[in-house]
A and B are shown apart, each in its own frame.
Chain A
């Protein structure tokens, strides 16, 4: 009997696997903070995508007649600049909205780089074993023995201060976590029967790595990716604040804070608002990350 001509079997094969996503959502939904975090994160992505449309002004246009104008609810503010203007007369709201775009892309690119590099390296370490494994893991130990921000700082200093170099440096610094996680999961999966049976059935090492084993290693990696997203945003903002990340007049939140430092006692809004933006975004992602961990990784106790 062939399966091709049997409609009953076809539908079974085509039906989505019962409830993987639903089960995930069931657990994720239990954590109210996580759902709230997801909601905020979605709005953040929306703002990042639509920044050009919803921002009332250009983020770099300088309104020379409106320097350091306070937000609209304070005396001297106007609804033309809802959240006030900065020391050179740029609209704060527009800069903050565009800043979301930078932070989102920083997070996305850093996590993509760190995860793809780290997972690949981790798979190689786990499958190869022997001296290859030892070499890779020792190298990761070396990277991990530097404070991440300091290593990123020095790398940026060498490559030259820019947002691209900062993202690259942060990705390298975050990578060892993925290498370790992936390798540990691979070593846990390799002795299992399904891997042996795939190997006996003649699966190539490549197929074993990416199709047989990798999907079963993903949950902790996904959780770590969510947490790295917030680390990337925080570290990039810190580098920007120290003058080694995005360069003015880029409306990156950390860079905005660094430009606003000398006005802290005169104009609270230029200092407070970019920080709130960073805090809210990072907090939302961390809330979401906690929920993801609870839902995806039963090994890490639900507490």
Chain B
């Protein structure tokens, strides 16, 4: 296990350094002078320009600049946002819980519906439930989610008036947001209706963000189940006269879960990409919306820092998934 851990870390560290080099270079190859952009002054004197260059370290050799950037990352320093003049690191982690909350809800939604759908399809292979479920899954997989969001808004918010269109909670409520997770904070506040309002605001974004992972999980569960169901030990279980529930639900599902868990682990990237679109449409105050705003206002330190942190978070999640895997399945450890 230790050699597996070292081996996995051996690919993690170079990738981490590579990600830092790429995000570092992004800001150097930009059109326009970052100093002028940052100061927002026209006709700056040469003296002041030089002073600002020195202040932000742009007058140093590229390698020194990179070294400062890299050590900064390790210490949680990603520079100062052009727009808000606050540290990028603090801005990111202030908004991060909103994205995590939305992504977790979307993942739960996708798993709760996707797993049973895949199992039902596999058990009824070739019959109508299989065909119906897999056609639906393929439609979900092909869905432009930004359009899906608009359709849901037209139907549930416009026609039925059931759900709000934007934000995390109604403006009527105000309470301290200690954890950053609206569901927990609104529940703890004890205000009547606050929790319900938070849930209502979550429903549509959750469906939108969860749609593609749902389709992927359903498809993956089906094919993993089909593979396992043709194995000898399942036939043995059948021959022993075990109930179909025991065979499908316990014997088969347990082994079919391995590839499914990988897919769930790999969905973190999909969720982050989806969060950009979902948060923009529903005005959800998370990382995705913040990144789009940073890009639109050319707030380069925020773009750079955000890109770096998102990539590192995805890498860490994938690392954890891989390590858990090695722990569960000794076969993977040895290869």
Contacts and interface: CB of A to CB of B under 8 A. Distances in A.
A264 B150 CA distance: 7
Given A264-B150, A282-B144, A142 B18 contact: yes
A279 interface: yes
Contact of B226 (A237, A286, A303): A303
Contacts of A238: 144, 146, 277
26 contacts: A138-B15, A145-B15, A145-B314, A147-B276, A148-B269, A150-B291, A153-B276, A153-B291, A158-B29, A234-B144, A238-B144, A242-B280, A254-B144, A264-B153, A271-B147, A271-B154, A274-B147, A275-B148, A278-B144, A278-B147, A279-B142, A283-B139, A283-B142, A286-B142, A290-B138, A303-B223
Contact of A282 (B142, B223, B227, B269): B142
A105 B135 CA distance: 27
B31 interface: yes
Contacts of A146: 19, 269, 307, 310-311, 314
B14 interface: yes
A148 B270 CA distance: 8
By Cβ-Cβ distance, the 8 closest A-B pairs, closest first, are A275-B147, A142-B18, A147-B273, A149-B273, A282-B142, A283-B142, A157-B295, A147-B272
Contacts of A154: 26, 295, 303, 307
B193 interface: no
B100 interface: no
Contacts of A158: 26, 29-31
A254 B281 CA distance: 14
Contact of A279 (B143, B150, B153, B223): B143
A301 B138 contact: no
A272 B158 CA distance: 14
Interface of B: 11, 14-15, 18-19, 22, 26, 29-31, 135, 138-139, 141-144, 146-148, 150-151, 153-154, 158, 222-223, 226-227, 269-270, 272-273, 276-277, 280, 291-292, 295-296, 298, 303, 307, 310-311, 314-315, 318
A157 B150 contact: no
A116 B213 CA distance: 29
B280 A272 contact: no
Contact of B154 (A157, A265, A283): A265
A28 interface: no
A70 to B, nearest CB: 15
A237 B280 contact: no
Interface in A97-121: none
Contacts of A44: none
A26 interface: no
Contacts, number: 126
Contact of B303 (A147, A157, A243, A279): A157
A230 B141 CA distance: 11
A257 B281 CA distance: 12
Contacts of A153: 276, 291-292, 295
A199 interface: no
B156 to A, nearest CB: 12
A283 B314 CA distance: 28
Nearest to B292: A242
Given A150-B291, A279-B142, A301-B223, 16 more contacts: A141-B14, A145-B315, A146-B269, A147-B310, A150-B273, A153-B291, A158-B26, A158-B31, A242-B277, A242-B292, A254-B144, A265-B158, A275-B150, A278-B144, A301-B227, A303-B222
A154 B304 CA distance: 9
A88 interface: no
Interface in A255-277: 257, 261, 264-265, 268, 271-272, 274-275
Contacts of B292: 153, 242
Given A145-B314, A154-B26, A279 B147 contact: yes
Given A158-B31, A265-B154, A145 B291 contact: no
A272 B144 CA distance: 12
A144 to B, nearest CB: 8
Contacts of A243: 296
Contacts of B298: 157
A257 B135 CA distance: 25
A150 B22 contact: no
Contacts of A287: 138
Contacts of B303: 154, 157
Contacts of B144: 234, 237-238, 254, 275, 278-279, 282
Contacts of B227: 301, 303
A157 B32 CA distance: 12
A142 B277 contact: no
Nearest to B222: A303
Contact of B151 (A241, A272, A283, A286): A272
